[in-house]
Amino acid sequence: MPSKAGRNRSDYKKSNRGQVLRLIATGECKNRTELTEAMGLTKMAISRIVSEMIEAGLVAEQELSVQNDSRRAPIGLAISPKAPKAVGLLIQREYCEAVLCDLELHIRKRETVFYGKQIDKEQLIRDMFRVLDTILYGEDNVIAIGAASIGPVSSSTGMILKPFYFFGIEDIPVVSLLKERYHLPVFLEHDNQCAAICEHLYGNGRKYQDVLFLGVGSGIGSGIISNGKQYRNNRGLPPEIGHVSIDINGKQCSCGGRGCVELYVRTPEVLKKLQYHTGKLYNFKTYCGMEKEPVVEQILNDMVTQLASAVVSTVNILNSELILLGGDAVDWDDRYVTLMERIINERRFVEWSTPVKVKKAYFQKDSMILGAACNAYLQIFEGGLLFEG
Ligand SMILES: [Zn+2]
């Protein structure tokens, strides 16, 4: 059980309000009684906070429902339709996408632009503005923009640094560009870190405090929740599991290392192998369903075993209790999820009574873009933005 979130001290007023809003927004608490229990505050304190939030148009009471024995059920609480929304922007190697979503993480609008064959920095910036202009058109109740990008990024300087396989585009000052154009608070984080936050707040990571999110796609990325908090270092640099070596004599990687796991298991590599050995031009998802083809089975087994090897190394450092699979890994057949779980538990160093769990991300391929918006919500839940001033 996580520790009680609330603290009965006036210094923590904002933080308590942020926590209460989080518990309501994520559906963890549905009424004042549950909030009182989860926060460890008095009934009266919770009543006061909730009344303030109703007044401010953040929270709304739900209609009374009658229980079977005709006792009145406690009045339900939910996020008010009048509450501010956040925009999530996702920058990927092939496309950029923006969504408008509410505090309960329902997507209200979505806009995507695929870049085409070759783009430069100016074109990328134009495409980012294009999706955001469309999403923000006519919206006057947006609290912030959260951006998620392929790495490496520096969340503290608000820059995308030098991503591999990205048309040679580098050093994009995303935060300052967006602040200047939209006059909203802007937060930038690595895409897989965003996904980890999203799953931890709203998805399959909710009951866990130590989570490793794996993003499988054109690269292999990771997001880390440690002791209930997003892993963060001083320079805002994300963890890069893709460059954990699984073979010191292996292929040369552009990072300078050899045998980086990404070189073997990133989707374009695996797909190339599958197409070569089967002579068929299917997409990755279709291959994942071809369980009876021994050659497909062998290639996918190798992929999972290689990825598991890098995951074990990481689990030995972080002692994660849950591994969440995102990106193209959500298309894996369940037996590959089980295989990865078995390998990790056979090889991890620390023996613990509960085995490490491996699950697919609740929000599937949307955990990164929803996580972009969660960048903004995380600020609110920590007592910022809405509760400042
Ligand atoms: Zn590398």
The 10s digit of each residue's pLDDT in 1-23 is: 444 555 555 557 889 999 999 99
Mean pLDDT of 151-178: 92
90 bridge partner residues: 97, 148
Q: Is 226 helix (H, G, I), strand (E, B) or coil?
A: strand
Q: Are 199 and 324 in contact (CB under 8 A)?
A: yes
* pLDDT score of 303 more than 80: yes
Q: Are 307 and 265 in contact (CB under 8 A)?
A: yes
Q: At 290, list the tokens.
A: 């071809």
148 bridge partner residues: 90, 189
Q: At the top level of CATH, which class does the domain 10-79 belong to?
A: mainly alpha
β-bridge pairing 211-216 and 322-327: parallel
pLDDT category at 66 given cuts 50, 70, 90 is: low
Residues with Cβ within 8 Å of residue 169, at least 6 apart in sequence: 119, 120, 121, 124, 163
What separation in Å is there between the alpha carbon of 288 and the centre of ligand 1?
Answer: 26
What separation in Å is there between the alpha carbon of 254 and the centre of ligand 1?
Answer: 6
What pLDDT score was predicted for residue 85? 97
Q: Are 326 and 368 in contact (CB under 8 A)?
A: yes
Average confidence score pLDDT of the chain: 91
What pLDDT digit, counting tens, does each position of 175-220 carry? 999 999 999 999 999 999 999 999 999 999 999 999 999 999 988 9
Mean pLDDT of 129-151: 96
One-letter amino acid of 27: G
- The CATH architecture assigned to 85-194+368-387 reads 2-Layer Sandwich (3.30)
The residue among 355, 369, 289 whose CA lies nearest residue 326 is 369
Spell out the long-range contacts of 168-176 with Cβ–Cβ below 8 A and sequence spacing 24 or more.
Answer: 169/119, 169/120, 169/121, 169/124, 172/121, 172/124, 172/125, 174/91, 174/128, 174/147, 174/149, 175/147
What separation in Å is there between the alpha carbon of 113 and the centre of ligand 1?
Answer: 29
* CATH 3.30.420.40 placement within the chain: 85-194+368-387, 206-361
Mean pLDDT of 168-179: 96
What separation in Å is there between the alpha carbon of 231 and the centre of ligand 1?
Answer: 21
What pLDDT score was predicted for residue 245? 95
What separation in Å is there between the alpha carbon of 361 and the centre of ligand 1?
Answer: 25
Cα torsion at 91, 94, 95, 101 (round to 10°)? Answer: -60
* pLDDT score of 72 more than 80: no
* pLDDT score of 81 more than 70: yes
What separation in Å is there between the alpha carbon of 246 and the centre of ligand 1?
Answer: 10
The residue among 274, 368, 376 whose CA lies nearest residue 330 is 368
What pLDDT score was predicted for residue 235? 78
The residue among 123, 120, 86 whose CA lies nearest residue 103 is 86
Place of tokens 């391929």: 365
Mean pLDDT of 306-333: 94
Beta strands in the chain (DSSP E): 59-61, 77-79, 85-91, 95-101, 107-114, 142-149, 153-154, 159-160, 186-190, 211-216, 220-226, 229-230, 322-327, 357-360
* CATH 1.10.10.10 placement within the chain: 10-79
Of 33-47, 51-65, 193-207, the range with the lowest mean pLDDT is 51-65
- Give just the sign of the alpha carbon dihedral 349, 350, 355, 359: negative
What separation in Å is there between the alpha carbon of 346 and the centre of ligand 1?
Answer: 26
User: Taking the complete model, does pTM exceed 0.85, yes or no?
Assistant: yes
Chain CA centroid to CA 48, Å: 32
What pLDDT digit, counting tens, does each position of 88-139 carry? 999 999 999 999 999 999 999 999 999 988 899 999 999 999 999 999 999 9
What pLDDT digit, counting tens, does each position of 380-389 carry? 999 888 877 6
Q: Is 300 helix (H, G, I), strand (E, B) or coil?
A: helix
Cα torsion at 152, 366, 83, 174 (round to 10°)? Answer: 20
Residues with Cβ within 8 Å of residue 55, at least 6 apart in sequence: none
What pLDDT score was predicted for residue 68? 64
Q: Are 158 and 175 in contact (CB under 8 A)?
A: yes
Indicate the helix (H) or strand (E) that contains 191: helix 191-202
What pLDDT score was predicted for residue 1? 45
What separation in Å is there between the alpha carbon of 221 and the centre of ligand 1?
Answer: 12
What pLDDT score was predicted for residue 116? 85
Of 142-151, 162-171, 326-335, the range with the lowest mean pLDDT is 162-171
What separation in Å is there between the alpha carbon of 125 and the centre of ligand 1?
Answer: 27
What separation in Å is there between the alpha carbon of 360 and the centre of ligand 1?
Answer: 25
The residue among 235, 233, 253 whose CA lies nearest residue 244 is 253
Q: At 149, list the tokens.
A: 């990008």
What homologous superfamily does CATH list for 206-361?
Answer: ATPase, nucleotide binding domain (3.30.420.40)
Q: How far apart are CA 125 and CA 137, in angstroms?
A: 18
Task: For residue 221, count CB atoms less than 10 angstroms from its CB and return exposed for 0-12, middle for 13-18, buried for 19 or more.
Answer: buried
What separation in Å is there between the alpha carbon of 267 and the centre of ligand 1?
Answer: 16
What pLDDT score was predicted for residue 247? 95
What pLDDT score was predicted for residue 11? 56
